[in-house]
Amino acid sequence: MEAIITGRAFVLGNDIDTDQIIPAAHLVYKLDDPDEKKNYGKYAFSGVPIEQSGLPQGNIPFIREGNWQSEYTIVIGGKNFGCGSSREHAPFALQVAGIRAVIAESYARIFYRNSIDGAFIAPFETTHALVKEVRTGDDLELDTTKGILKNRTQGKEYQLSPLGDVEHILRSGGIFEYARQSGMLKR
């Protein structure tokens, strides 16, 4: 996890489930094959009608046609982000698509743990209803050390909830690398 993450926001609603993040039909690709792995990014947030999904209004695509990475870097979500099935492919798909952090009001427990255990994305929590303030396309800067989100487009700043003990896991590169660095596992 980088100390400073910058980029454009992709704003979602409440109850974004793992099937919206990566539809089950796209779980057939090999995770260790570089060419097939790109499909997890390509199909992130695909296949669900916008009016049923909580995705941004106006048919704003997360991935442009022919690409596998998004032009967005930070996802802003509401409550219960990552609910649904326990698939670890969901935070993996976001990482492959170029997302470095998700900032939400709350998370489904398993999505949150999967995000941290694999160090796929930094899952920050906020007490602010950012989905009502930040707009898709806003230019953001996230200081992951201080937990401060700056909306450079709107000139606003928000203090996020601290990551706590999971910060060490994210900065180490995942739960297994953290265990190795901490001496819990042999190298």
Q: Enter the tokens of residue 29.
A: 């690709």
> What CA–CA distance (Å, rounded) separates 66 from 52?
24
Neighbours of 13 (CB within 10 A): 16
Q: What pLDDT is recorded for position 57?
A: 56
Contact between 76 and 51 under an 8 Å Cβ cutoff? The reply is no
- Give the pairing of strands 156-159 and 148-151: antiparallel
Query: Does 115 score more than 60 pLDDT?
Result: yes
Cα separation, 131 vs 134, in Å, equals 6
Taking the CA of residue 107 as centre, how many other CA atoms within 13 Å lie in the half-sphere pointing to its CB? 24
pLDDT band at 65 (very low <50, low <70, confident <90, very high): confident
Name the pLDDT band for 186 (thresholds 50, 70, 90).
Answer: confident
CA gap 39, 31 in Å, rounded: 10
- For the record, the structure tokens of 159 come out as 């203090």
Cα 69 to Cα 38, 39, 100, 119: the distances in Å are 8, 9, 12, 18
Q: Are 123 and 107 in contact (CB under 8 A)?
A: yes
Q: What predicted TM-score, i.e. pTM, was given to this entire model?
A: 0.92
Closest among 32, 40, 34 to 63, alpha carbons compared: 40
Q: CB-side exposure of 187: number of CA atoms within 13 Å? A: 3
pLDDT value of position 94: 97
Measure the CA–CA gap between 150 and 140, rounded to whole angstroms.
Answer: 6
User: Predicted confidence band at 176 (pLDDT cuts at 50, 70, 90)?
Assistant: very high
What φ, ψ does residue 23 adopt, rounded to 5°?
A: -55, 145
In the chain, the amino acid numbered 3 is A
56 pLDDT band, cuts 50/70/90, is: low
Classify domain 4-181 by CATH number.
Answer: 3.20.19.10
Strand partners, 149: 142, 158
